[in-house]
Amino acid sequence: MKKILILTAAVLLSQTMLFAQNGKKVSEKDVPERYVKDLHRQVQDVKNLEWQLIDTLIYDACFTNENGTKTAYRFSPKGMETRWYVDEKYYPHAIVNKISEMHPGFKVKELYALQIKNKVTYQAIVGQCKGLFTKKWKKMHLMNFETDSKFIDEIEL
């Protein structure tokens, strides 16, 4: 019985982590003022800005930067992290090859460069994509890579 409870809790936690990536859209006036000021101090020319509430006091500011790159800043009491989303045609071949080697049949849902406290890594969300008209992702994994495409670790979502 105890094992079933632990397993159920683990499944619920992994589902929460998977869907936590897509937060609830909020208005800028609902975002803590210090996060809004930090964002506008970091970047001046913001296009298509969208704020999302991820968790208590954790907000994402998603926008397109001046180079046309999809970018997201995550603000939390622990600090700020930056994500630069990589277009599929620019995926590093070594990362795509490693994903194919470790998980045959998996596809990259999204790949981004992640900067936390001056350390930059790549993160790839991968899984099996099913469906012709609507994409359904299964067996999702978050894989971490160094900037030279060296594999670090992965987490099953």
Length of the chain: 157
Tell me the residue type at 102: M
Domain segments of the chain as ranges: 2-82, 88-156
Angular region, 48: left φ>0, alpha ψ -120 to 50, beta rest: left
Torsion of CA 123, 45, 25, 60, to 10 degrees: 40
Instruction: State pLDDT tens for residues 7-58.
Output: 333 333 333 343 345 689 999 999 999 999 999 998 887 888 999 999 999 9
From start to end of 56-106, where are the E strands? 58-64, 70-76, 79-85
Beta bridge partners of 47: 64
pTM for the model: 0.74
Alpha helices in the chain (DSSP H): 2-20, 33-42, 93-102
On whether the CB atoms of residues 140 and 109 are closer than 8 A, the answer is yes
How remote is the C-alpha of 102 from its chain's centroid? 20
At residue 101, φ and ψ (nearest 5 deg) are: -70, -45
How confident is residue 131, by pLDDT bands cut at 50, 70 and 90? confident
Name residue, tokens 């277009």.
87
C-alpha–C-alpha distance, residues 21 and 19, integer Å? 5
Higher pLDDT, 90 or 9: 90
| CATH number of the domain located at residue range(s) 88-156 in this protein | 3.10.450.40
pLDDT tens digits, one per residue of 102-112? 999 999 999 99
